[in-house]
Amino acid sequence: MTNSPDYRTQARLKLYILPDVTAVATAAARHFRARASSAIAVSGRFSVVLSGGATPKAVYAEIVKDRDLDWTKVHVFWGDERCVPATHSDSNYRLAMDHLLSQVPVPEANIHRIKTELGAKQAAAAYAVELQTFFKLEPGALPRFNLILLGMGGDGHTASLFPGAAALHDIAHLVVSSTAPKLSEERITLTYPVLNAAAWVVVHVCGQGKSAAVKAVLDSAPQFEQLPMQGVRPMQGELVWLIDQDAAAALD
Ligand code: 6PG
């Protein structure tokens, strides 16, 4: 009987189990709007990190419905990117452009794309400079995003922090290049220090295919090398999980 608390307890996360992907997307969009309204009221701008993969498409469909948001004050970043051209069908940037950013009046200057055309290492370095400039960071300081949206893979990865990757142990950089093991595909990803400096992290996970990973991540003692999502625990921020019933199927 292990007496070390599970990740869910240690990370003080708030878990919401919702009927389906549309409900998860609606809830994620509600968090997006709430965080945006609050940040714009307090600081005059909203810095948000979009996640990659496919789930965000449903989230974007809900976010675009909000016609009251002042998009001139919204600054969009990405948690990770595949090292493909911005026009490639695998591009996280392209997914957001097609399903969200082309449909709202966000200024181009507010879209902080990871410039994959530079190659993985140079793109990571350039993106780190963009963060340092936007947040006016002193050397060694961390950016505090108002909101970071994250998905999770069936292996417990998040952003492009994959099991066993060197990036899991990198606390010296804001952004690093990484490799998706099964795909041997080059990626660029924010590191844990940046994810964990956020004011809010909202995780969205849907589908039966994720149920084993959801159970493993939430109900086991932290072992972030095997289950990278367990390394996400905002130091001074809120952590919210939005999952559908299929993804929750293995939970007690
Ligand atoms: C990526 C992501 C990755 C994604 C998960 C979940 O670029 O693929 O950032 O971490 O969020 O793999 O992806 P789905 O939402 O498609 O299941």
Q: What is the pLDDT of residue 194?
A: 98
Give yes or no for residue 53 CB within 6 A of ligand 1.
Answer: yes
Could you tell me which residues come within 8 angstroms of residue 21 by beta carbon, excluding any fewer than 6 positions away?
55, 58, 206, 207, 244
Q: Cα of 186 to ligand 1 centre, how many Å?
A: 14
Distances (CA, A) of 41 to 33, 34, 44, 110, 207: 12, 11, 6, 18, 36
CB 147 within 8 Å of CB 200: yes
Report the alpha-carbon distance of residue 66 to residue 29 in Å, rounded. 9
Confidence of residue 181 (pLDDT cuts 50, 70, 90): confident
pLDDT surpassing 60 at residue 2:
no
Q: Which tens digit of pLDDT belongs to each residue from 82-94?
A: 999 999 999 999 9
Report the alpha-carbon distance of residue 223 to residue 2 in Å, rounded. 13
Q: What is the pLDDT of residue 42?
A: 98
In this structure, how many other beta carbons lie within 10 angstroms of the beta carbon of residue 17?
15
Token readout for 57 is 């498409």
Q: Cα of 56 to ligand 1 centre, how many Å?
A: 9
Q: What is the pLDDT of residue 213?
A: 98
Domain 28-230+239-244 has CATH 3.40.50.1360: yes
Q: What is the pLDDT of residue 215?
A: 98
pLDDT surpassing 80 at residue 38:
yes
Domain boundaries, the chain: 28-230+239-244
Q: What is the mean pLDDT of the chain?
A: 96
Report the alpha-carbon distance of residue 154 to residue 213 in Å, rounded. 6
Q: Strand pairing partners for 131?
A: none
Instruction: Spell out a b/e string for 130-144, using b for 16 or more CB atoms within 10 Å of the CB, else e.
Output: bbeeebebeeeebbb
Q: What is the pLDDT of residue 4?
A: 78
Give yes or no for residue 52 CB within 6 A of ligand 1.
Answer: yes
Which atom of ligand 1 lies closest to the CA of 151? 11
Q: Strand pairing partners for 14?
A: 240
Confidence of residue 180 (pLDDT cuts 50, 70, 90): confident
Report the alpha-carbon distance of residue 237 to residue 74 in Å, rounded. 20
Q: Cα of 81 to ligand 1 centre, how many Å?
A: 10
Report the alpha-carbon distance of residue 171 to residue 128 in Å, rounded. 13
Q: Cα of 190 to ligand 1 centre, how many Å?
A: 14
Give yes or no for residue 156 CB within 6 A of ligand 1.
Answer: no
Q: Which tens digit of pLDDT belongs to each residue from 15-30?
A: 999 999 999 999 999 9
Q: DSSP letters of 109-163?
A: GGB----GGG-HHHHHHHHHHHHHHHTTPPTT-----SEEEE---TTS-BTTB-T
Q: Which tens digit of pLDDT belongs to each residue from 102-135?
A: 999 999 999 999 999 999 999 999 999 999 999 9
Determine the 3-state secondary structure of 192 from DSSP: helix
How many helices (H) and strands (E) are present in the chain, helices listed first?
Answer: 7, 9
Token readout for 45 is 């701008």
Mode of pairing for the β-strands spanning 46-50 and 74-78? parallel
Q: What is the pLDDT of residue 97?
A: 98
pLDDT surpassing 70 at residue 1:
no
Mode of pairing for the β-strands spanning 147-150 and 46-50? parallel
CB 239 within 8 Å of CB 198: no
